[in-house]
Amino acid sequence: MKLTPEQKQEIADQQSQKNQTKRVTSPELEKILYEALPVLDHGFVRVVDYMGDDTSIVQSARVSYGKGTKKVSTDEGLIKYLMRHWHSTPFEMCEIKYHVKLPIFIARQWIRHRTANVNEYSARYSILDKEFYLPAKEQLSAQSTSNRQGRGELITGNQADEVLKILKDDATKTYDNYEKMLNEKFDGTIIDEKKSGLARELARMNLTLNSYTQWYWKTDLLNLLNFLFLRADSHAQYEIRVYAETMLDTVKKWVPITHAAFLDYRVGAVHVSSKGKKIIQQLVKGEKVNYENSGLSKREWNELMAAFEFKEKIV
């Protein structure tokens, strides 16, 4: 991740601010506020603003006036209860705003979560950075044979080198043509004084999807956790997962009690259907159960067996 001198100065200026507030703050999150946390080769995640903390969740659940004489353990018990029983509105009382730099193809996947306020860098107004995402070799995989939207075996050797060369050459060539159509270089230099550049809103359509964009993404804690539950999961695409994992670390600094409850009752939990519950009950009793009479599909059966580490898997 490379930051321009201007970006570094902006972050330094933001972090040097000394503001007094009567609002609740999260000391650990304050330590990294505005900091650019690196993701992928040129991307980052920055927390630029937030509202509330764990006590705000408890306060809204009780509709009380403040902390009073409650113990932290009391708040922890209530937050666990709210998480365990899928209560939602108390977690909506906290909000957070991120500044994210990410490849365009990940942004288009990310935006499917229609639960945030988003303002993206405008390529109609400004010239996009001359930066492209190039996967590390260990992330180059073939198409999965069992999952239409997943990765399979790792691509290695000369084939991996060829793929990386194609990605780099295509991105470089299209960006060079982008500058040529604009008649303007990334640094603002005019290429030919006698020519008029193509409108930026038209020239941008030639860029590859691994070009980087930026946006501000503001959401409440409930919807952030829903996003992280899906995107920080091991089955999520690697490129969006590393962003989600970085954001999950910021949640730990922001609302540590909620973070722990989230890991326990969401991320680490196993959710089963009524049929699945019945099968587990039978297996615990020592009764014989098999796939054929379970009423489950092959995928459901295998997922259930894997979740509880049973050996009765169907190939």
Q: Which residues are the active-site residues? A: 231
> Could you please report the per-residue DSSP string of the chain?
----HHHHHHHHHHHT-----SS---HHHHHHTT--EEETTTEEEEEEEEE--HHHHHHHHHT-SS-TT--HHHHHHHHHHHHHTT--GGGGG-EEEEEEEEEHHHHHHHTT--SSEEEE--TTTSPPPS-B----GGG-EEEPSS-TTSEEEEP-HHHHHHHHHHHHHHHHHHHHHHHHHHTB-TTS-BS-TTSPPPPHHHHGGGS-TTBEEEEEEEEEHHHHHHHHHHHSSTTS-HHHHHHHHHHHHHHHHH-HHHHHHHIIIIIS-----HHHHHHHHHHHTT----GGGT---HHHHHHHHHHTT-S----
